[in-house]
Chain A
Amino acid sequence: MPNVTFNIDYLLKLVGSKLEKQKLNEILYKLGIEVEHEEENSLTLEITPNRPDLFSVVGLARYLRNFLHQNKNFHYNIIKDTKETQLNLIINPNIKNKLFIYGFVAKDIKLDDNSLADIFNFSEKLSDTLGRMRKKLSIGIHDYDTIDKTIEFKLSNDKKFIHLKGNEPELFSDVLKNTEKGKMYSTALPKTNMFPVLEDTKGVLALIPIINSKRTAVTKKTTNLFVEVTGTSEDLVKKINEMLAINFHELGAKIYQINISGNNKNYTSLSFPENYVTIPVSQIGAEIGIKLDSSIIISLANKMGYEAAVLNQKIRFSIPAYRIDILNEQDVIEDIAIGYGYEYIVATPVPSITKGKLLDNTILFNRISDAFIGVGFTELISTYLTNEDKNFTKMRLDIPNKKDYILLKDSKSSSITMARTHILPSLLHVLSLSKHEKLPQKIFELDLIFSIDKNKPVEDYHIACVSTNNKQNFNDMKSIIYSVLLTLRISFSIAECKHNSFIEGRCASILINGKELGVFGEVHPVVLRNFGIEEPTTAFELSLSFI
């Protein structure tokens, strides 16, 4: 979840009210925003990824302002006439609808340290999270007054420009290799020798999605801005462009849309389409489980930033352009519930009574475990994940073909490469950790093991136990197995068998319904040595697949 750090003074200045720190924290909790870290002047908040509008101080302040004052101003004054800026953005056909661009001009803005930092942090956060490290989306902000008014968006050959942090002209390919941003985001570019750029007659404005030019750099003194959003999804690019325009509008700028043409299309950049969700009045309270009439709902909607109106027993919510997370009425109802306050929703039982039931396996497996506990075994729970050395080699077993067991990809831990194919190694491992414990040591585990049958994964329950003591032989384990299995009314027979983990002639296979499902006997001393066990040990493992 994205963590965003906010300057408290700047936030409260934008909210426009003096909030005690504790009160602020309380409101944030009500809104579902968790405080990750607190300092004298700043708050680091966990913002959920569905609310990218709250990655900025401006957006968070708007949210809090609405919540506290029920702000009824939901309209933005956008200058629609594109002649006003005379800025033309032309998309070269070589972009081929693989990348999309939107933008706008913000004039007469007064920037200071706080607002400038917020603008940059906001665009970085958006392009890192929502933009998937700029693969899907990136944002550029330029000094409008340094730009020649016709800008082309195109794929260019490798050529030189002075980037934001540079002093000398450098090739795009060198910028990718040598700059911090280049190294971080070069994977967002397709692997070709063509580079997406914005260019006017004076040269390159930006190497997209990596870095802007030094020429168009924005400082505190800049008053007019050109903002562009590029990315692989037109819908997302368009919406983020609108979200940014609203933010700059709230910072006091005049917002101008611009004309964009190319790829047989000609469009303006800020359409703000009306977007409504309409829900029956009765449904809203019914879904939350409280009684709400339409006047309360409208007031709650305003509090949560929606303009809302009653239409024939229904409420029409108009979705703010900066809310990209609203998919259907459930999202709006959640906001109404948050506005109402989760803490005031009275818990009411599900109205009808049902009869509960455990799985047969749960009951049966508990019986089997009880039987083992009854003969002195302690239960163990261990990880399902292991490696070939522990699962096979230490057990004196050959490592099978890789097709025959569940193999993990890119495990972070070198000791984990596969899912276990039997339980005994887990038990022997615990004995190896328990050398100083009192004898006898008797442990068992009843849980899953994994295999592959005809390319399909198989998850099977096994029961396994080990017993270690200074004197211990085949017959000790045989007597345990016979007593326990007979108590559980499992009919079985045993047969001589060869198993590399056991001493030859001192182990037996267990047959149930003619199928070889288990084995028990004296663990081979080489296996014991491999696990660092110094006392004689007997072991048993049985598949419960017959149940």
Chain B
Amino acid sequence: MHKYELAIIKSLQDGKSKTPEQLMEEVNLGKDELLWAIENLSNISLIELQREKELAISFFPEGEVYANSLLPEDSLLEKLKSQKKLELKTLISEKDRIALQWCIKKKLAQIKDGYLIITPSGEKNKVPSNESILLNSLSKLKVVPKHISAEERSSIDEFKSRKLLEIKEKNNILSIKISKKGLEFKDFSDSEHIDELTKEIITSKNIESLKFKKYDISVGVPSEIVSMRHPLRSLINDIKITFSQMGFNEISGPIIEPSFWVFDSLFVPQDHPARDTQDTFHLSNPEFLDIEEQEYLKQIKKTNTKAWKIKWNDNDAKSAVLRTQMTSVSVRYIREFIKQFAKDKNQLLPKKLFTVGRVFRNENLDYKHLTDFYQTDGIIIGKNLTLSNLFDTLITFYKAFNVNIRFKPAYFPFVEPGAEIFAQLGEKGEWLEIGGSGIIRREITGIKRKDISVLAWGLGIERMLLLKDKNMKSITEYYNSDLGWLRSRELI
């Protein structure tokens, strides 16, 4: 028997019922050690436990805010009570939108002709509502009280579904008492059988004849915390290793770029909606960034103006953005290469390059949408490259991850021919789009095919996770993970 267990049995020999706190003090143990030992003793029926179930509440940040003030629909109702109606256009903040939704759901208000109007039942409802009061008191109690009304019960369920709070069942130990069997337990110093092995015993003589006390191997033990890499990082490392095994050199480049490198140099017209602040993060500081490559700027300006029939705007090209795909890194490298190639035509070819990094979209954050996520981009610069070379490279890459792929003709402004890549979920599953590829347009390289062509692709990494992690609910869990989620990951 472990010394902690012995100490507890000894201290309980007086037959009194004790709380865990009393025991901790008497036997001088930490809470974790005590609970572990008690669990063991209870398993072998040497002690009796009196338990109590408790529903512990923990608040999410949103719930905490409401608990300290009011539910958003209450705040809105209060406003409505004084103003009778509110113009919908004024209700644009995230909080207002939530409030609006709940006011309507609870029939406190209705929408009419662009206005939010209070309903008769809204007029009757008082502020703060019972729900707000309940939420506030729950935040102080931290547990669900034993006796609550059906109405309160359903309010709590609603708080749960609104993700304001969560409830976990806790099994508290109220008191510990020695059992009959425990009272008869006398084996406090078993001189014949060794309990814990010590340095003294190992270094003593005649250790061949020692007898060891038998342990109950079925006893429950506390779990260890396994520290590990983030699963997304593991996948990124696998991708990097796979590309380097295929003969690719890793490159990197800036996240914050003038629009020129993210859009113009990739042949995205200046009036294309994807460039709007609706989809792309533009910066208000720094608002513009210089484009060092004046000569290339001239070339791109000329081809884009001609192809897209637009008036070129220098500020649109300079506008600072968070890159929306990794191809900005590739195209910067292509430009560097072309400058060197102009000086020295005897470059060692092909050049095979890849990059992995984060790209950004201006999204409304929710459980399915993220503002930043990972992509990997690759290029091959060489002579006599073909579409079939491109297909082979991608098939080889995905084979390393046991993923079957196929190609579909597709349009991306900067490649021609272009192909979308589809991967099969499982052996007979549906086909999922996982990336785009093609041969870079010669308007971008400014070089004739007989000299050089460039194969290129961009692949979503989150989609690869989906192929690997069958339990994945949404990609957002990989970025907004709490420690519980991280600790429950399996190494893949």
Contact = CB atoms under 8 A, between A and B. Distances in A.
B451 interface: no
B483 A405 contact: no
Contacts of B244: 356-358
Main secondary structure of the interface of A (DSSP, over half): loop
B227 A442 contact: yes
Interface in A433-455: 433-438, 440-443, 448, 450, 452, 455
Nearest to B59: A532
A364 interface: no
B388 A342 contact: no
B352 interface: yes
A342 B421 CA distance: 11
Contacts of A414: 93-94
Contacts of B246: 356
Contact of B371 (A233, A383, A409): A383
Given A50-B411, A345-B387, A350-B382, A457 B245 contact: no
Given A342-B409, A379-B228, A452-B286, A288 B386 contact: yes
Interface stretch (B11-19, B180-188, B199-207, B438-446): B438-446
Given A50-B411, A379-B233, A435-B58, A236 B247 contact: no
A408 B94 contact: no
Given A358-B244, A413-B94, A32 B309 contact: no
Nearest to A336: B417
Contacts of B428: none
A381 B240 contact: no
Interface string A1-32: 00000000000000000000000000001111
B129 interface: no
B55 to A, nearest CB: 13
B483 A408 contact: no
Interface in B406-445: 406-411, 413, 416-420, 439, 441-443
B227 A359 contact: no
A102 to B, nearest CB: 14
B281 A411 contact: yes
A163 B173 CA distance: 80
A348 B364 contact: no
A48 B416 CA distance: 13
A356 B245 contact: yes
A48 B252 contact: no
A177 to B, nearest CB: 15
A342 B281 contact: no
A55 to B, nearest CB: 14
Interface in A237-293: 283, 286-290
Nearest to B417: A334
Contacts of A358: 240-241, 244, 250
A337 interface: yes
A369 B487 CA distance: 17
Nearest to A350: B389
B141 interface: no
A51 B409 CA distance: 13
Given A350-B389, A356-B245, A457-B320, A362 B227 contact: no
A187 to B, nearest CB: 13
A385 B283 contact: no
Interface stretch (A189-197, A313-321, A324-332, A487-495): A324-332
Interface string A387-428: 000000000000000110111111111111001000000000
Contacts of A382: 479-480
Given A347-B395, A437-B482, A287 B228 contact: no
A233 B311 CA distance: 9
A202 interface: no
A356 to B, nearest CB: 4
Interface string B234-267: 0001001101111111111011100000000000
B26 interface: no
A140 B320 CA distance: 38
B392 A348 contact: yes
B364 A413 contact: yes
Interface of B: 56, 58, 61, 64, 93-94, 168, 223, 225, 227-230, 232-233, 237, 240-241, 243-252, 254-256, 271, 273, 277-278, 281-287, 289, 307, 309-310, 320, 322, 349-352, 358, 360, 362-365, 370-372, 380, 382, 384-389, 391-393, 395-396, 406-411, 413, 416-420, 439, 441-443, 449, 453, 478-484, 486-487
Given A327-B441, A412-B364, A457-B256, 12 more contacts: A349-B393, A350-B350, A384-B358, A385-B372, A408-B282, A419-B322, A430-B481, A434-B482, A436-B484, A437-B484, A455-B286, A457-B320
Interface of A: 29-32, 34, 48-51, 132, 135-136, 233, 235-236, 283, 286-290, 327-328, 330-331, 333-334, 337-338, 342-343, 345-350, 352-359, 361-362, 366, 369, 373, 376-385, 402-403, 405-416, 419, 430-438, 440-443, 448, 450, 452, 455-457, 459, 532
